[in-house]
Amino acid sequence: VCATDGRTYKNQCELCKHNLEFGKNVGRKYTRRCVRTIIPSMTMGTFVVFVLALWCFSGVISQDAGEIDCNSFMVAKGRIRPCNRMYKPLCGTDDKTYTNECEFCRKRVESGVNIAKKHDNQCISDFCRRFSSHPGMCTMNYNPQCGSDNKTYGNECTFCSSALKSRGTLFLKHGGKCKEE
């Protein structure tokens, strides 16, 4: 697993262990080993932008691995076409919710910030904000939510209670009951 800190971890569990051990919030970039390109004349900032551009233009970042291919949003090198307003939220490894993949790519390409897609849907910090002041105190109304653990939670509050306790390992898969796969 290649992480947003540029290090390769044996698996997602090792990455999680590192985060807990060092109080970090390092996310997963992609499931393969990290690709390192060393060009001595570059500063670290330039290097990060260079690697991001290389990933975007070479197709290393692919949706199959949970990442986003920014090529479909490019009009020229370093320029993103205007984004539509379709609401299909995703959470970045910077723990910010982006309206859709295009807006995510715009942020990544234009700012040069080294972020990756963490998961589909809103970030837990955004989705569960209204429940964080009274964790565990949930009503009994039934509004099923499917978690990434394939468990159906009774409502948003009960899902958020578990998600906040999970320290970032549980996220919302979709609204409604989980489908048996």
pLDDT of residue 152: 96
Q: What CA–CA distance (Å, rounded) separates 37 from 180?
A: 43
- Under DSSP, the state recorded for 29 is E
Q: What does the alpha-carbon distance between residue 67 and residue 101 come to, in Å, rounded to a whole number?
A: 10
Q: What is the pLDDT of residue 36?
A: 55
CATH 3.30.60.30: does it fit domain 2-120? yes
CB atoms within 10 A of CB 24: 13
How far is Cα 31 from Cα 10, in angstroms, rounded to an integer?
10
| Residue among 25, 30, 45, 46 at smallest CA distance from 96 | 25
Q: Distance between terminal CA atoms of the chain?
A: 25
pLDDT tens for the chain, 181 residues: list them.
Answer: 788 888 888 887 788 777 777 777 778 877 777 765 444 444 444 444 444 444 444 333 333 335 687 878 887 777 888 888 898 988 888 888 999 999 998 888 888 877 888 888 888 777 788 877 776 788 889 999 999 899 999 999 999 889 888 877 888 888 899 987 5
Question: Which amino acid is it at 152?
Answer: T
For the record, the structure tokens of 115 come out as 């972020």
For 24, 74, 117, 128, 155, the CA distances from 5, given in Å and listed in that order, are 10, 25, 14, 26, 35
Domain 2-120 matches domain 124-175 at the CATH topology level: yes
Q: What pLDDT is attached to residue 35? A: 67
Alpha carbon 71 to its chain's center: 18
**Where are the domains positioned within the chain?**
2-120, 124-175
Do the beta carbons of residue 68 and residue 28 sit within 8 Å? no
At 87, which amino acid appears? Y
3-class secondary-structure state, position 101: helix
Two tokens, residue 15: 């990455």
Architecture of domain 124-175: 2-Layer Sandwich (3.30)
